[in-house]
Amino acid sequence: MKKMLLSSLLLLASPLALAEVDFSGLWFPGGGPGQNPREMPLTAFGKKLFDDYVAAFTVEDDPGGWCVSPGLPRSIWGAPFPVEIVQTDDFINMFWEGYFQYRKIYLEGRPRPEPILHTRMGYSVGHWEGDTLVVETSYLREYPYMRRLPNTENAVITERFSIEERTNDKGEKVKYLNNVMTLTDPTLYTQPVTVTSSLRWSPDTPIMEYSCSEDIYDKHLQERGLQIPDFSQGQ
């Protein structure tokens, strides 16, 4: 009986028995080295694609300017827009103001659907290692824009989320959500690519309505010589 009690106490004291952390709330990009490493370890195949892309595409051809959703791994911290996280016992939802992107992380040991399609955010399953959330994402839709940390459909992303308190210049303690993200894609990279960044707790930064498609539509109307109704004329 004493051995069983001692074993239980040791289990409760172990790092793996720590309570799960609640990431719920509003967060804002809090700094980090950025989404792209200075030098991407491209394979010969990836390097040729990169060189051909840079020779043909300009900054004006950037997909973000045409409302193409970045998805993972590029949009993980949503810069420069806030991210809202809602956490339950079964899953964690993440919602980005930028491009109105939505992501669901299913927690191991809980009911979850089988993956069906490759998508920008992929299919994510997480488990707790102490107070760190470890998430593996597959079923990612290919992202062939070579200046933006591209990936194929065979890519796998592993992330480690954890909470940290930092002291700012005013001596105040500020909560940060750190993420160490590793992209593995042997088709494009000779080795896994790791990016580290963080979100700063920002409860007073609400999610606003975001859309970039109106500008594209306005340009279309201008080219057609059309003008949408002006409701202010009736006031």
Tens of pLDDT, residue by residue over 162-198, are 999 999 889 999 999 999 999 999 999 999 999 988 9
Residue given tokens 């059309």 in the structure block: 226
Find, among 31, 73, 50, the residue nearest to 194 by Cα.
73
Residue 134 to residue 128: CA distance in whole angstroms? 6
* pLDDT score, position 213: 87
Buried residues in 165-187 as b, exposed as e (16+ CB within 10 A): eeeeeeeeeebbbbbbbebebee
Distance of CA 163 to the CA centre of its chain: 16
What residue segments make up the domains of the chain, in order of their start? Answer: 16-224
> What does the block give as tokens for 26?
């509003």
Q: Cα Rg for the chain, rounded, in angstroms?
A: 22
Cβ(110)–Cβ(127) below 8 Å = no
Instruction: Using pLDDT thresholds of 50, 70 and 90, give the confidence band for residue 199.
Output: very high
Quick check: pTM over 0.75?
Answer: yes
For residue range 116-164, what is the model confidence (pLDDT) as tens digits?
999 999 999 999 999 999 999 999 999 999 988 999 999 999 999 999 9
Residue 70 to residue 155: CA distance in whole angstroms? 15
> What does the block give as tokens for 50?
């990169």
Residue 19 to residue 22: CA distance in whole angstroms? 9
- Respond yes or no on whether the N-terminal peptide bond of residue 73 is cis (omega within 30° of 0): yes
> Over 60: is that where the pLDDT of 29 sits?
yes
